[in-house]
Chains A and B, each alone.
Chain A
Amino acid sequence: GAGVSQSPSNKVTEKGKDVELRCDPISGHTALYWYRQRLGQGLEFLIYFQGNSAPDKSGLPSDRFSAERTGESVSTLTIQRTQQEDSAVYLCASSVDGLVGPQHFGDGTRLSIL
C-alpha cells in the first residue's frame, strides 16, 4: 500500500485478555516505531526496529508488552493480560531509515479495555 497500515482500527476487549496489534509499514522502510498515545496526551515511545539490528525496547512499560518484526515487514505489538491503563491509541510509524528519513504514521489502533 501507499501508506502505513494498522489493524484493527478499534479493539475493545475485557481486562485480562491478550491483544495483538498489527502494523504494515511502507514497503522498503527499514525503520519502524510503536508509540502509545493516551487520551489528551503526547506520544510515548514504546519500541523501535531498524533493519536486522536488535530493537530498542527501552520504552516498553512492562513485561506484558512485547513486539516482533521479521526483517523489514509487518510488526505485531502484543499486550498480555491487559489492564485498564492500557487503554490508548497505539500508533505505528515507519521511515526509510532511522537516520534522516521522516516518520510516516498509520491511523492507529484505538484499544479500549473494559
Chain B
Amino acid sequence: AQTVTQSQPEMSVQEAETVTLSCTYDTSESDYYLFWYKQPPSRQMILVIRQEAYKQQNATENRFSVNFQKAAKSFSLKISDSQLGDAAMYFCAYRPTSGTYKYIFGTGTRLKVLA
C-alpha cells in the first residue's frame, strides 16, 4: 500500500530565511504525482507545487521549490525568503497516474515563521 510520511510535526524559520520540509513516500508504481499543499488557519487547502514522477527536473513556483529524489522516494519542499504569510500546515500528498485517483496525504508539518 502507498504511504506518505512527514517526520517533522513542527518546524520554525526566521523571516527571510530558508526552510526545508521533508516528505518520504512508499509506492511500487513507476509513475505518479506528488504534491505539496498549504493549509492556513482559515482551513482552505491551497496547492503549492506539483511534481510528476516521470519528470527529472525539480518543480519550482516562485519561492517554493522541491527536491525530488525518485530512487530514494523523497520529496522535500524548500521555501526561500520565508514570509509571515507562509505560516501554515503543509501537507505532502501522492497520487498514482492510473488505477485509482485516490490521493494519499501525510500527517502534515506545522511551519512557524518568526519575525
Which residues from chain A sit less than 8 Å from chain B, CB to CB? 31, 33, 35, 41-45, 48, 50, 56, 58-59, 89, 91, 93, 98-100, 102-108
How many residues on chain B are close to A (CB under 8 Å)? 22
- Asked if B107 contacts A93 (CB within 8 A), the reply is no
Contact among B43, B103, B104, B106 with A89 in the assembled complex (CB-CB below 8 Å): B43
Instruction: Give the residues from 1 to 57 in chain B that come closer than 8 angstroms, CB to CB, to chain A.
Output: 6, 33, 35, 42-47, 50
A8 to B35, CA, bound (A): 28
Name B100's closest neighbour in chain A (CB-CB). Answer: A56
A98 to chain B: which residues have CB within 8 Å?
Answer: 101
Contact yes or no, B42 A31, CB < 8 A: no
Contacts of B101 in A (CB 8 A): 31, 48, 50, 56, 98-99
Contact surface of B with A, Cβ cutoff 8 Å? 6, 33, 35, 42-47, 50, 91, 93, 97, 100-108
Give the CA-CA distance A89 to B104 in the complex, in Å.
17
Q: Are B107 and A41 in contact (CB under 8 A)?
A: yes
**16 additional contacts (CB under 8 A) given A59-B102, A105-B44:** A31-B101, A42-B91, A43-B93, A43-B103, A43-B105, A45-B102, A45-B104, A91-B43, A91-B45, A98-B101, A100-B33, A102-B47, A105-B45, A107-B43, A107-B44, A108-B43
CB distance from B92 to the nearest CB of A (A): 9
Known: A43-B91, A89-B43. Contact between A102 and B107, CB under 8 A?
no
Q: Please determine whether A45 and B45 come into contact, CB atoms closer than 8 angstroms.
A: no
B-chain residues with CB within 8 Å of residue A99 when the two chains form the complex:
97, 101
Query: CB < 8 Å: which of B50, B106, B108 contacts A102?
Result: B50
If A91-B45, A108-B43 touch, whether A45 touches B108 (CB-CB below 8 Å) is no
